[in-house]
A and B are shown apart, each in its own frame.
Chain A
Amino acid sequence: MADNPQRPMANARPLSPHMTIYRWPVTMMTSITHRATGVGLSVGAIILAWWLVSISNGPEGWQSFHAVADTPVGLLVLFGLTWALVYHFLNGIRHLAWDMGYGFDKREAERNSVIIFALSIILALAAFAVGWTGHGGYLQ
Protein backbone atom coordinates (compact mmCIF):
# COMPACT_ATOMS: atom_id res chain seq x y z
CA MET A 1 0.00 0.00 0.00
CA ALA A 2 2.84 2.38 0.79
CA ASP A 3 4.59 1.75 -2.52
CA ASN A 4 3.30 4.93 -4.03
CA PRO A 5 2.54 7.66 -1.47
CA GLN A 6 0.98 9.81 -4.18
CA ARG A 7 -1.55 7.11 -5.11
CA PRO A 8 -2.12 4.98 -2.02
CA MET A 9 -4.81 2.86 -3.68
CA ALA A 10 -2.78 2.08 -6.83
CA ASN A 11 -1.90 -1.49 -5.86
CA ALA A 12 -5.36 -2.42 -4.66
CA ARG A 13 -7.08 -1.41 -7.86
CA PRO A 14 -8.42 -4.09 -10.16
CA LEU A 15 -6.57 -4.23 -13.47
CA SER A 16 -8.42 -3.98 -16.75
CA PRO A 17 -8.07 -7.17 -18.78
CA HIS A 18 -4.84 -7.59 -20.75
CA MET A 19 -6.29 -9.10 -23.88
CA THR A 20 -3.25 -11.25 -24.70
CA ILE A 21 -3.35 -13.17 -21.42
CA TYR A 22 -7.02 -12.80 -20.62
CA ARG A 23 -8.89 -16.08 -20.31
CA TRP A 24 -12.07 -15.78 -22.32
CA PRO A 25 -15.10 -16.82 -20.30
CA VAL A 26 -17.36 -19.14 -22.26
CA THR A 27 -20.19 -16.56 -22.14
CA MET A 28 -17.92 -14.15 -24.03
CA MET A 29 -17.37 -16.85 -26.65
CA THR A 30 -21.12 -17.42 -27.06
CA SER A 31 -21.67 -13.67 -27.41
CA ILE A 32 -19.13 -13.12 -30.18
CA THR A 33 -20.16 -16.39 -31.87
CA HIS A 34 -23.78 -15.18 -31.90
CA ARG A 35 -22.66 -12.06 -33.74
CA ALA A 36 -20.35 -13.94 -36.11
CA THR A 37 -23.03 -16.50 -37.01
CA GLY A 38 -25.48 -13.63 -37.54
CA VAL A 39 -23.14 -11.97 -40.04
CA GLY A 40 -22.47 -15.34 -41.69
CA LEU A 41 -26.18 -16.08 -42.02
CA SER A 42 -26.76 -12.63 -43.55
CA VAL A 43 -24.31 -13.56 -46.30
CA GLY A 44 -25.95 -17.00 -46.43
CA ALA A 45 -29.23 -15.31 -47.37
CA ILE A 46 -27.65 -14.64 -50.77
CA ILE A 47 -27.20 -18.41 -51.18
CA LEU A 48 -30.86 -18.90 -50.25
CA ALA A 49 -31.78 -16.36 -52.96
CA TRP A 50 -29.58 -18.21 -55.46
CA TRP A 51 -31.20 -21.53 -54.50
CA LEU A 52 -34.73 -20.13 -54.98
CA VAL A 53 -33.80 -18.57 -58.33
CA SER A 54 -32.20 -21.84 -59.45
CA ILE A 55 -35.45 -23.71 -58.67
CA SER A 56 -37.47 -21.11 -60.58
CA ASN A 57 -35.17 -21.68 -63.59
CA GLY A 58 -36.16 -25.32 -63.95
CA PRO A 59 -33.87 -28.36 -64.37
CA GLU A 60 -30.90 -26.38 -65.79
CA GLY A 61 -31.04 -23.94 -62.89
CA TRP A 62 -31.22 -26.78 -60.34
CA GLN A 63 -28.21 -28.47 -61.93
CA SER A 64 -26.17 -25.26 -62.02
CA PHE A 65 -26.81 -24.80 -58.28
CA HIS A 66 -25.92 -28.37 -57.41
CA ALA A 67 -22.81 -28.29 -59.61
CA VAL A 68 -21.44 -25.87 -57.01
CA ALA A 69 -23.27 -26.99 -53.85
CA ASP A 70 -22.29 -30.66 -54.21
CA THR A 71 -18.55 -29.94 -54.29
CA PRO A 72 -16.57 -30.44 -51.04
CA VAL A 73 -16.30 -26.68 -50.59
CA GLY A 74 -20.00 -26.24 -51.29
CA LEU A 75 -20.91 -28.89 -48.73
CA LEU A 76 -18.57 -27.31 -46.19
CA VAL A 77 -20.29 -23.94 -46.68
CA LEU A 78 -23.73 -25.56 -46.37
CA PHE A 79 -22.63 -27.36 -43.21
CA GLY A 80 -21.28 -24.08 -41.81
CA LEU A 81 -24.58 -22.35 -42.55
CA THR A 82 -26.54 -25.22 -41.00
CA TRP A 83 -24.50 -25.04 -37.81
CA ALA A 84 -24.70 -21.21 -37.80
CA LEU A 85 -28.49 -21.31 -38.11
CA VAL A 86 -28.86 -23.94 -35.36
CA TYR A 87 -26.48 -22.02 -33.09
CA HIS A 88 -28.08 -18.62 -33.70
CA PHE A 89 -31.52 -20.21 -33.19
CA LEU A 90 -30.60 -21.80 -29.84
CA ASN A 91 -28.61 -18.85 -28.51
CA GLY A 92 -31.29 -16.47 -29.80
CA ILE A 93 -33.86 -18.22 -27.62
CA ARG A 94 -31.47 -17.78 -24.69
CA HIS A 95 -31.22 -14.06 -25.49
CA LEU A 96 -35.02 -13.82 -25.42
CA ALA A 97 -35.01 -15.59 -22.04
CA TRP A 98 -32.43 -13.07 -20.78
CA ASP A 99 -34.66 -10.24 -22.05
CA MET A 100 -37.39 -11.62 -19.82
CA GLY A 101 -34.99 -11.74 -16.87
CA TYR A 102 -34.27 -15.47 -16.75
CA GLY A 103 -30.89 -17.19 -16.68
CA PHE A 104 -28.61 -14.37 -15.55
CA ASP A 105 -27.00 -16.45 -12.81
CA LYS A 106 -23.28 -16.80 -13.60
CA ARG A 107 -23.05 -20.59 -13.18
CA GLU A 108 -26.28 -21.11 -15.07
CA ALA A 109 -25.17 -18.86 -17.95
CA GLU A 110 -21.83 -20.66 -18.16
CA ARG A 111 -23.46 -24.07 -18.09
CA ASN A 112 -25.99 -23.38 -20.84
CA SER A 113 -23.26 -21.71 -22.93
CA VAL A 114 -21.48 -25.05 -23.07
CA ILE A 115 -24.78 -26.85 -23.70
CA ILE A 116 -25.61 -24.53 -26.62
CA PHE A 117 -22.18 -24.99 -28.22
CA ALA A 118 -22.36 -28.77 -27.89
CA LEU A 119 -26.01 -29.09 -28.90
CA SER A 120 -25.60 -26.87 -31.98
CA ILE A 121 -22.72 -29.03 -33.25
CA ILE A 122 -24.58 -32.26 -32.50
CA LEU A 123 -27.78 -31.08 -34.23
CA ALA A 124 -25.91 -29.79 -37.30
CA LEU A 125 -24.04 -33.10 -37.60
CA ALA A 126 -27.31 -34.97 -37.08
CA ALA A 127 -28.98 -32.99 -39.87
CA PHE A 128 -26.16 -33.87 -42.27
CA ALA A 129 -26.17 -37.50 -41.11
CA VAL A 130 -29.90 -37.72 -41.82
CA GLY A 131 -29.33 -36.21 -45.27
CA TRP A 132 -26.36 -38.43 -46.11
CA THR A 133 -27.94 -41.68 -44.98
CA GLY A 134 -30.90 -40.97 -47.23
CA HIS A 135 -33.39 -40.33 -44.44
CA GLY A 136 -34.05 -36.80 -45.64
CA GLY A 137 -36.09 -36.02 -48.74
CA TYR A 138 -39.35 -37.00 -47.09
CA LEU A 139 -41.20 -34.26 -48.97
CA GLN A 140 -40.94 -36.24 -52.19
Chain B
Amino acid sequence: MYRYIIKRLLLTIPTLFGAAVLVFVLMRMVPGDVCEVRMAGFGAFADQEAIDICRENLGLNNPWLWAWPWWDSQFGQVMWGYLTLDLGKSMWTGQPITHEIGLRFQLSLQVAFMATAVAILIAIPLGTISAVKQDTWIDYCVRTFSIAGIAMPSFWLGIMIILGLLITTQAWSGTPWMPPIVYVSPFEDLAGNLSQLIWPAVATGYRYSAVATRMTRSALLEVLREDYVRTARAKGLLERVIINRHALKNAMLPVITIFGIEFAFLIGGLVVTEQVFNLNGLGKLFVESVLTNDFTLTQQLVMLVVVIFVFMNFVVDIFYAWLDPRIRYA
Protein backbone atom coordinates (compact mmCIF):
# COMPACT_ATOMS: atom_id res chain seq x y z
CA MET B 1 0.00 0.00 0.00
CA TYR B 2 2.86 2.41 0.88
CA ARG B 3 4.60 1.81 -2.45
CA TYR B 4 1.31 2.46 -4.16
CA ILE B 5 0.87 5.79 -2.33
CA ILE B 6 4.46 6.93 -3.03
CA LYS B 7 4.11 6.04 -6.71
CA ARG B 8 0.91 8.08 -6.96
CA LEU B 9 2.55 11.02 -5.17
CA LEU B 10 5.56 11.05 -7.51
CA LEU B 11 3.27 11.09 -10.51
CA THR B 12 1.80 14.41 -9.34
CA ILE B 13 5.12 16.28 -9.85
CA PRO B 14 5.23 16.21 -13.69
CA THR B 15 1.48 16.86 -13.73
CA LEU B 16 1.92 20.05 -11.68
CA PHE B 17 4.92 21.22 -13.72
CA GLY B 18 3.07 20.70 -17.00
CA ALA B 19 0.08 22.61 -15.68
CA ALA B 20 2.30 25.49 -14.49
CA VAL B 21 3.94 25.87 -17.90
CA LEU B 22 0.62 25.66 -19.72
CA VAL B 23 -1.06 28.25 -17.50
CA PHE B 24 1.93 30.59 -17.73
CA VAL B 25 1.93 30.54 -21.54
CA LEU B 26 -1.85 30.84 -21.84
CA MET B 27 -2.01 33.82 -19.47
CA ARG B 28 0.67 35.67 -21.45
CA MET B 29 -1.29 35.15 -24.63
CA VAL B 30 -4.32 37.00 -23.24
CA PRO B 31 -4.27 40.56 -24.64
CA GLY B 32 -4.07 43.58 -22.34
CA ASP B 33 -2.41 44.19 -19.01
CA VAL B 34 -3.38 44.99 -15.47
CA CYS B 35 -1.98 48.55 -15.49
CA GLU B 36 -4.22 49.64 -18.37
CA VAL B 37 -7.27 48.22 -16.62
CA ARG B 38 -6.28 49.59 -13.23
CA MET B 39 -5.30 53.13 -14.13
CA ALA B 40 -7.17 53.93 -17.32
CA GLY B 41 -9.91 51.33 -17.36
CA PHE B 42 -12.63 53.56 -16.04
CA GLY B 43 -12.67 56.11 -18.83
CA ALA B 44 -10.88 58.70 -16.75
CA PHE B 45 -7.68 60.29 -17.91
CA ALA B 46 -4.49 58.49 -16.87
CA ASP B 47 -1.00 59.76 -17.41
CA GLN B 48 0.94 57.41 -19.72
CA GLU B 49 4.02 57.84 -17.56
CA ALA B 50 2.08 56.55 -14.55
CA ILE B 51 0.97 53.49 -16.53
CA ASP B 52 4.58 52.86 -17.61
CA ILE B 53 5.79 53.12 -14.01
CA CYS B 54 3.10 50.65 -12.96
CA ARG B 55 4.27 48.18 -15.64
CA GLU B 56 7.88 48.57 -14.58
CA ASN B 57 7.05 48.12 -10.89
CA LEU B 58 5.09 44.94 -11.62
CA GLY B 59 7.83 43.45 -13.77
CA LEU B 60 5.64 43.41 -16.87
CA ASN B 61 8.49 44.81 -18.94
CA ASN B 62 10.72 41.83 -18.07
CA PRO B 63 11.26 39.22 -20.80
CA TRP B 64 8.86 36.29 -20.68
CA LEU B 65 11.18 33.35 -20.89
CA TRP B 66 14.80 34.32 -20.98
CA ALA B 67 16.84 36.91 -19.12
CA TRP B 68 20.17 37.02 -17.39
CA PRO B 69 20.09 35.92 -14.64
CA TRP B 70 17.34 33.51 -15.66
CA TRP B 71 15.16 34.11 -12.58
CA ASP B 72 14.69 37.73 -13.70
CA SER B 73 12.47 36.50 -16.55
CA GLN B 74 8.76 36.27 -15.79
CA PHE B 75 8.82 32.50 -16.16
CA GLY B 76 11.93 32.25 -14.01
CA GLN B 77 10.24 34.26 -11.27
CA VAL B 78 7.18 32.02 -11.31
CA MET B 79 9.26 28.84 -11.16
CA TRP B 80 11.60 30.22 -8.51
CA GLY B 81 8.50 31.16 -6.52
CA TYR B 82 7.28 27.55 -6.61
CA LEU B 83 10.64 26.27 -5.49
CA THR B 84 10.77 28.72 -2.57
CA LEU B 85 7.03 28.40 -1.84
CA ASP B 86 6.56 32.12 -2.53
CA LEU B 87 3.44 32.58 -4.65
CA GLY B 88 4.12 36.28 -5.20
CA LYS B 89 1.79 39.25 -4.92
CA SER B 90 -1.46 40.10 -6.62
CA MET B 91 -0.83 42.64 -9.38
CA TRP B 92 -4.14 44.33 -8.57
CA THR B 93 -3.98 44.69 -4.79
CA GLY B 94 -0.26 44.27 -4.14
CA GLN B 95 -1.12 41.84 -1.34
CA PRO B 96 0.57 38.43 -1.01
CA ILE B 97 -1.35 35.82 -2.96
CA THR B 98 -1.31 33.42 -0.03
CA HIS B 99 -3.17 36.14 1.92
CA GLU B 100 -5.71 36.69 -0.90
CA ILE B 101 -6.35 32.96 -1.25
CA GLY B 102 -6.33 32.30 2.48
CA LEU B 103 -9.12 34.82 3.01
CA ARG B 104 -11.39 33.01 0.58
CA PHE B 105 -10.39 29.42 1.10
CA GLN B 106 -12.37 28.89 4.29
CA LEU B 107 -15.61 29.99 2.63
CA SER B 108 -15.07 27.92 -0.50
CA LEU B 109 -14.15 24.88 1.53
CA GLN B 110 -17.22 25.24 3.73
CA VAL B 111 -19.53 25.59 0.72
CA ALA B 112 -17.88 22.55 -0.88
CA PHE B 113 -18.39 20.48 2.29
CA MET B 114 -21.97 21.65 2.73
CA ALA B 115 -22.86 21.04 -0.92
CA THR B 116 -21.24 17.60 -0.74
CA ALA B 117 -23.21 16.82 2.41
CA VAL B 118 -26.43 17.93 0.68
CA ALA B 119 -25.54 15.83 -2.34
CA ILE B 120 -24.73 12.72 -0.28
CA LEU B 121 -27.90 13.08 1.78
CA ILE B 122 -29.97 13.26 -1.41
CA ALA B 123 -28.06 11.02 -3.79
CA ILE B 124 -27.32 7.84 -1.84
CA PRO B 125 -30.85 7.23 -0.47
CA LEU B 126 -32.61 8.33 -3.65
CA GLY B 127 -30.24 6.40 -5.93
CA THR B 128 -30.65 3.29 -3.79
CA ILE B 129 -34.45 3.55 -3.62
CA SER B 130 -34.59 4.18 -7.34
CA ALA B 131 -32.53 1.04 -8.07
CA VAL B 132 -34.38 -1.16 -5.63
CA LYS B 133 -37.78 0.08 -6.87
CA GLN B 134 -36.72 -0.01 -10.51
CA ASP B 135 -39.45 0.87 -13.02
CA THR B 136 -42.03 1.74 -10.36
CA TRP B 137 -43.60 5.19 -9.92
CA ILE B 138 -41.03 5.90 -7.18
CA ASP B 139 -38.21 5.25 -9.64
CA TYR B 140 -39.83 7.53 -12.21
CA CYS B 141 -40.21 10.35 -9.65
CA VAL B 142 -36.57 10.04 -8.56
CA ARG B 143 -35.36 10.00 -12.15
CA THR B 144 -37.42 13.08 -13.02
CA PHE B 145 -36.08 14.84 -9.93
CA SER B 146 -32.49 14.00 -10.82
CA ILE B 147 -32.81 14.86 -14.52
CA ALA B 148 -34.24 18.24 -13.48
CA GLY B 149 -31.18 18.75 -11.30
CA ILE B 150 -28.81 18.01 -14.16
CA ALA B 151 -30.73 20.23 -16.56
CA MET B 152 -30.98 23.20 -14.22
CA PRO B 153 -27.82 25.35 -13.93
CA SER B 154 -27.06 25.93 -10.27
CA PHE B 155 -26.59 29.68 -10.75
CA TRP B 156 -30.08 29.91 -12.25
CA LEU B 157 -31.47 27.93 -9.35
CA GLY B 158 -29.59 30.34 -7.08
CA ILE B 159 -31.21 33.35 -8.70
CA MET B 160 -34.61 31.69 -8.34
CA ILE B 161 -33.94 30.95 -4.68
CA ILE B 162 -33.05 34.59 -3.94
CA LEU B 163 -36.02 35.95 -5.87
CA GLY B 164 -38.28 33.39 -4.21
CA LEU B 165 -37.04 34.44 -0.77
CA LEU B 166 -37.51 38.14 -1.55
CA ILE B 167 -41.01 37.69 -2.90
CA THR B 168 -42.32 35.19 -0.34
CA THR B 169 -40.94 37.02 2.68
CA GLN B 170 -42.39 40.29 1.43
CA ALA B 171 -45.77 38.66 0.86
CA TRP B 172 -45.61 36.98 4.26
CA SER B 173 -44.22 39.70 6.51
CA GLY B 174 -44.33 42.85 4.38
CA THR B 175 -40.53 43.15 4.47
CA PRO B 176 -38.43 41.42 1.84
CA TRP B 177 -35.55 39.33 3.16
CA MET B 178 -32.52 38.00 1.40
CA PRO B 179 -29.60 35.95 2.67
CA PRO B 180 -26.68 37.94 4.12
CA ILE B 181 -24.16 39.13 1.54
CA VAL B 182 -21.21 39.37 3.91
CA TYR B 183 -19.54 36.19 5.12
CA VAL B 184 -19.21 35.50 8.81
CA SER B 185 -17.22 32.59 10.11
CA PRO B 186 -19.26 29.75 11.69
CA PHE B 187 -17.07 30.14 14.78
CA GLU B 188 -18.27 33.74 15.20
CA ASP B 189 -21.95 33.42 14.31
CA LEU B 190 -23.16 29.96 13.30
CA ALA B 191 -26.74 31.06 12.57
CA GLY B 192 -25.58 33.97 10.43
CA ASN B 193 -23.11 31.76 8.64
CA LEU B 194 -25.68 29.08 7.85
CA SER B 195 -28.33 31.60 6.80
CA GLN B 196 -25.90 32.77 4.12
CA LEU B 197 -24.35 29.49 2.98
CA ILE B 198 -27.24 27.05 3.14
CA TRP B 199 -28.76 28.49 -0.06
CA PRO B 200 -25.72 28.15 -2.32
CA ALA B 201 -25.08 24.73 -0.75
CA VAL B 202 -28.60 23.65 -1.71
CA ALA B 203 -28.35 25.19 -5.20
CA THR B 204 -25.06 23.48 -6.02
CA GLY B 205 -25.69 20.37 -3.93
CA TYR B 206 -28.88 19.64 -5.85
CA ARG B 207 -27.13 19.59 -9.23
CA TYR B 208 -24.26 17.62 -7.75
CA SER B 209 -26.69 15.12 -6.18
CA ALA B 210 -28.52 14.66 -9.46
CA VAL B 211 -25.41 13.29 -11.15
CA ALA B 212 -24.56 11.14 -8.13
CA THR B 213 -28.15 9.82 -7.83
CA ARG B 214 -28.09 8.54 -11.38
CA MET B 215 -24.64 7.05 -10.90
CA THR B 216 -25.70 5.33 -7.64
CA ARG B 217 -28.79 3.91 -9.32
CA SER B 218 -27.00 2.49 -12.35
CA ALA B 219 -24.04 1.14 -10.33
CA LEU B 220 -26.35 -0.50 -7.82
CA LEU B 221 -28.51 -2.03 -10.54
CA GLU B 222 -25.38 -3.60 -12.02
CA VAL B 223 -24.22 -4.96 -8.67
CA LEU B 224 -27.67 -6.28 -7.78
CA ARG B 225 -27.43 -8.58 -10.82
CA GLU B 226 -24.10 -10.05 -9.70
CA ASP B 227 -23.84 -13.74 -8.74
CA TYR B 228 -22.76 -13.06 -5.17
CA VAL B 229 -25.94 -11.03 -4.55
CA ARG B 230 -28.01 -13.93 -5.88
CA THR B 231 -26.03 -16.22 -3.57
CA ALA B 232 -26.70 -13.93 -0.59
CA ARG B 233 -30.42 -13.98 -1.38
CA ALA B 234 -30.31 -17.80 -1.69
CA LYS B 235 -28.73 -17.92 1.74
CA GLY B 236 -31.86 -16.16 3.02
CA LEU B 237 -30.24 -12.90 4.05
CA LEU B 238 -32.51 -9.98 4.64
CA GLU B 239 -32.85 -7.69 1.60
CA ARG B 240 -31.82 -4.71 3.79
CA VAL B 241 -28.58 -6.48 4.74
CA ILE B 242 -27.90 -7.49 1.14
CA ILE B 243 -28.31 -3.93 -0.08
CA ASN B 244 -26.42 -2.20 2.73
CA ARG B 245 -23.62 -4.62 3.42
CA HIS B 246 -22.95 -6.31 0.10
CA ALA B 247 -24.33 -4.34 -2.83
CA LEU B 248 -23.95 -0.72 -1.81
CA LYS B 249 -20.29 -0.93 -0.82
CA ASN B 250 -19.36 -2.42 -4.17
CA ALA B 251 -21.52 0.04 -6.07
CA MET B 252 -19.76 2.99 -4.45
CA LEU B 253 -16.58 2.96 -6.57
CA PRO B 254 -17.91 5.11 -9.46
CA VAL B 255 -19.99 7.20 -7.03
CA ILE B 256 -16.89 8.08 -5.01
CA THR B 257 -15.16 9.18 -8.22
CA ILE B 258 -18.06 11.54 -8.89
CA PHE B 259 -17.97 12.92 -5.35
CA GLY B 260 -14.19 13.40 -5.53
CA ILE B 261 -14.20 15.27 -8.82
CA GLU B 262 -17.23 17.37 -7.89
CA PHE B 263 -15.75 18.30 -4.53
CA ALA B 264 -12.56 19.51 -6.21
CA PHE B 265 -14.65 21.43 -8.73
CA LEU B 266 -16.71 23.07 -6.00
CA ILE B 267 -13.69 24.58 -4.26
CA GLY B 268 -12.52 26.65 -7.20
CA GLY B 269 -15.19 26.27 -9.79
CA LEU B 270 -18.27 27.99 -8.42
CA VAL B 271 -17.52 31.07 -10.45
CA VAL B 272 -21.09 32.02 -11.26
CA THR B 273 -22.86 30.71 -8.17
CA GLU B 274 -20.49 32.67 -5.92
CA GLN B 275 -21.33 35.81 -7.88
CA VAL B 276 -25.06 35.18 -7.59
CA PHE B 277 -24.88 34.83 -3.81
CA ASN B 278 -22.07 37.38 -3.46
CA LEU B 279 -19.84 34.82 -1.79
CA ASN B 280 -16.29 36.02 -1.35
CA GLY B 281 -14.82 32.71 -2.40
CA LEU B 282 -12.17 31.44 -4.77
CA GLY B 283 -14.53 31.35 -7.75
CA LYS B 284 -15.32 35.06 -7.41
CA LEU B 285 -11.63 35.82 -6.97
CA PHE B 286 -10.94 33.85 -10.13
CA VAL B 287 -13.39 35.93 -12.17
CA GLU B 288 -12.02 39.18 -10.78
CA SER B 289 -8.42 38.22 -11.46
CA VAL B 290 -9.23 37.36 -15.06
CA LEU B 291 -11.23 40.56 -15.59
CA THR B 292 -8.38 42.67 -14.27
CA ASN B 293 -5.64 40.73 -16.09
CA ASP B 294 -4.00 39.93 -12.78
CA PHE B 295 -1.68 37.30 -14.29
CA THR B 296 0.06 36.25 -11.11
CA LEU B 297 -3.15 35.72 -9.17
CA THR B 298 -4.86 33.85 -12.02
CA GLN B 299 -1.78 31.66 -12.43
CA GLN B 300 -1.74 30.70 -8.75
CA LEU B 301 -5.50 30.14 -8.61
CA VAL B 302 -5.33 27.80 -11.57
CA MET B 303 -2.43 26.01 -9.92
CA LEU B 304 -4.44 25.75 -6.71
CA VAL B 305 -7.31 24.14 -8.58
CA VAL B 306 -4.87 21.78 -10.30
CA VAL B 307 -3.38 20.84 -6.93
CA ILE B 308 -6.85 20.25 -5.49
CA PHE B 309 -7.85 18.06 -8.45
CA VAL B 310 -4.59 16.10 -8.27
CA PHE B 311 -5.03 15.70 -4.54
CA MET B 312 -8.67 14.60 -4.85
CA ASN B 313 -7.73 12.10 -7.57
CA PHE B 314 -5.06 10.82 -5.25
CA VAL B 315 -7.56 10.47 -2.41
CA VAL B 316 -10.01 8.72 -4.72
CA ASP B 317 -7.27 6.33 -5.84
CA ILE B 318 -6.49 5.53 -2.22
CA PHE B 319 -10.19 4.94 -1.56
CA TYR B 320 -10.33 2.64 -4.57
CA ALA B 321 -7.42 0.66 -3.24
CA TRP B 322 -9.04 0.49 0.18
CA LEU B 323 -12.43 -0.55 -1.18
CA ASP B 324 -11.10 -3.03 -3.71
CA PRO B 325 -7.87 -4.86 -2.80
CA ARG B 326 -7.51 -6.08 -6.38
CA ILE B 327 -6.53 -2.51 -7.39
CA ARG B 328 -3.75 -2.11 -4.84
CA TYR B 329 -2.18 -5.49 -5.74
CA ALA B 330 -2.47 -4.98 -9.48
Does A pair with B? no
Measured CB to CB, the residues of A under 8 A from B are none
Measured CB to CB, the residues of B under 8 A from A are none
